[in-house]
Amino acid sequence: MASDNCLDEMPGGANWHSFVEEPLVIDDESQQIWTHSADWLVVGFGGAGATAALRASQNGLAVIALDKADGGGATLASGGVFYAGGGTRIQQQLGEVDTPENMYNYLKLETGGIVSDDTLMRFCQTSADNLDWLMQQGVKFGGPVWKEKTSYPNVDYFLYHSDNSLLPAYTKWASPAARGHRGVISKGRSAVDLGGSIYSPLQAQCRSRGVHIETKTEAFQLVVSKRDGSVLGVRARQLVPGSDACKEHARCLARGNLISRLYPFFLPGARRVQGWARKYFTRAAQIEAENRQIVAYRARAGVCLSAGGFIFNRPMVEQYCPDFSAGFPLGTPADDGSGIRLGQSAGGATVHMGRATAWRFINPPYAWSQGIMVDSQGRRFVNETCYGATIGDAMVERAGGQAWLILDGQLVRDAWKQIWPTKVLPFQWQLGALNMLLAKKKFRSMKEVCDYYGFSESVLQASLKDSAELAAGSRVDQFEKAATDARSLEFPLHVIDVSLGAKLLPCTVLTMGGLSVDEATGQVKDLQGGVIKGLYAAGRTAVGIPSYLYMSGLSIADCVFSGLRAADHASETLHNEITEPTKRQ
């Protein structure tokens, strides 16, 4: 696996784009004045970090966890979905038949060889146990199960098909099973900020076990041994807990975030409102610059980098995955690539930095997926009933990020019925209604629609003909769309811009590349393929199971899988180092 690193991607290089500094290299750890000392240090306290911290504590290690913000990261801000299968207790209770081998056969189709077959099988074999581990920590999962294809189910349902497993193209290889386990939580009709159903119990368990959690603490430098290059600890900048500056900083962030949530960026007049929010964020940044102090942390068993991806670092996005830059960043501002850069600063290798995932969800309403999605020539390029990340990936890779959804009058009428507020979630009906009211354009002839968008008449005509023949059962679709999901579209046609940068239909994007790790231990690999002693990575800071193609819940599942892996290896290594001298005596 080739590394993405090059010479100008080191501290001080033209393409570094990070506050992370070169490591502090010392001859002896006594040369550094350590503010705090522990066995295990976690940098980034989201889903992966909380898992790694808690497991290490359960293994008997003294643990410190740092977070640039207040903890939780993208996991806390998510829809709270944990992708699990192989016969979890919830699947069994609800009659969903699955095995580790069946789960593997499905994921093998989606993961693109991003990890080895052995690692993918281990992920599937431990999936049910990992869900049980979460439940032992207080995370609640359950039913009922939503049987139909959807991007996100009604909030009263807690198990659903969060992938492509129901589609005929996939059922040929693996039996469908609902694997999207939503954490049981009640927040009205909201489908965002539900990740507390998973994160909050982990955080509570960490606190109860004495894990020392330090927030408003930004790691900027690794401390490494001159003798062997092993990682000894971390230096960070921290707002003094409980200080006036820390309190004002929290108020500014709370107000800015509240404004951003209450008036989303895609609504009319949002630029002015979001500008108001940015004033609070700017003030928070000023407080950080003026009031933080430097603290140093010693970590005897190692440092685990679990600080997310880099989608909020726009220069890094433009550098590594510019084709995705028009999308809407998904995650938190702390997803700035600092965890990845910390690993690189110590000689860590990165891979697949050009991989990102774009979520172009068009179902619900189901009627939208019965239409056709075309590129700038008017050519279909994807099965419109696929999971949103599959559609988004095809849109970027095959259509240059430009796409239009074509419906007819009947599908528009069906769509209005399907997005009735009592049937779907608020964000689903709001975006559907907004686009059908303000973004949809109506055309009465082939020439009219092609003149407006620049489509080729012959290409669009062929796309419409293919859809009609597919609906009639006289054609097998090249993208394996089922005939029951297709329609013969009649003029007038209705067209909605669903491109990556569509203003009224945000396409969320997050980065999937990161540090290369030993898949058995979670240790960060160096440029020669060896491992860096004392340095681990987990979650989206590292390449993992979802790094080729995303499925809902797969990232949180990988956070738990990789967090447990790193903590267990570090714990075992430290235990062996302690007991070995005793054996020799």
- Each residue's pLDDT tens digit, 407-426: 999 999 999 999 988 888 88
CA-closest candidate to residue 529, choices 538, 539, 542, 516: 516
| DSSP string for residues in 370-405 | HSEEE-TTS-B-S-TTS-HHHHHHHHHHHHTT--EE
The pLDDT of residue 5 is 65
Rounded-to-integer distance, Cα 279 and Cα 573, Å: 47
CA-closest candidate to residue 303, choices 72, 532, 555: 532
Question: b/e per residue, 244-281, with b = 16+ CB within 10 A?
Answer: ebbeebbebbebbbebbeebeebeeeeeebbeebeebb
φ, ψ of residue 572 to 5 degrees: the values are: -65, -40
Tokens standing for residue 267: 């609504």
Would you place residue 522 in the very low, low, confident or very high pLDDT band (cuts 50, 70, 90)? very high
The pLDDT of residue 211 is 98
Q: Is 581's pLDDT higher than 60?
A: no
pLDDT tens track for 231-283: 999 999 999 999 999 999 999 999 988 888 777 666 767 778 888 888 999 99
Rounded-to-integer distance, Cα 69 and Cα 63, Å: 18
Rounded-to-integer distance, Cα 341 and Cα 20, Å: 6
The pLDDT of residue 263 is 73
| DSSP code at position 321 | -
Tokens standing for residue 89: 């207790």
pLDDT tens track for 305-316: 999 999 999 999
Q: Is 193's pLDDT higher than 90?
A: no
The pLDDT of residue 36 is 96
CA-closest candidate to residue 130, choices 44, 51, 73: 51
pLDDT tens track for 90-134: 999 999 999 999 999 999 999 999 999 999 999 999 999 999 999
The pLDDT of residue 468 is 97
Cβ 43 vs Cβ 68: under 8 Å: no
Quick one: average pLDDT of 512-526? Answer: 98
pLDDT tens track for 523-574: 999 999 999 999 999 999 999 999 999 999 999 999 999 999 999 999 999 9
Alpha carbon of residue 19 to chain centroid: 23
Residues 6+ apart with CB under 8 A from 439: 496, 497, 502, 503, 504, 505
Would you place residue 157 in the very low, low, confident or very high pLDDT band (cuts 50, 70, 90)? very high
CA-closest candidate to residue 381, choices 361, 403, 360, 363: 403
Cα–Cα distance list, 276 to 207, 279, 300, 330, 486 (Å): 36, 5, 45, 21, 45
Quick one: average pLDDT of 462-482? Answer: 96
The pLDDT of residue 488 is 97
pLDDT tens track for 493-509: 999 999 999 989 999 99
Rounded-to-integer distance, Cα 578 and Cα 575, Å: 5
Helix locations, 263-306, DSSP H: 270-291
The pLDDT of residue 185 is 87
pLDDT tens track for 362-375: 999 999 999 999 99
CA-closest candidate to residue 374, choices 450, 463, 458: 463
pLDDT tens track for 428-460: 898 999 999 999 999 999 999 999 999 999 999
Alpha carbon dihedral 231, 232, 237, 241, in 10-degree steps, equals: 130
The pLDDT of residue 362 is 94
CA-closest candidate to residue 524, choices 546, 544, 549, 510: 544
The pLDDT of residue 192 is 67
- Beta strand segments in 124-257, E: 145-146, 159-160, 180-182, 212-214, 217-225, 231-238
The pLDDT of residue 3 is 60
CA-closest candidate to residue 353, choices 512, 226, 463, 465: 512
Rounded-to-integer distance, Cα 47 and Cα 197, Å: 11
Cβ 317 vs Cβ 324: under 8 Å: yes
Tokens standing for residue 562: 């990789």
Rounded-to-integer distance, Cα 250 and Cα 63, Å: 25
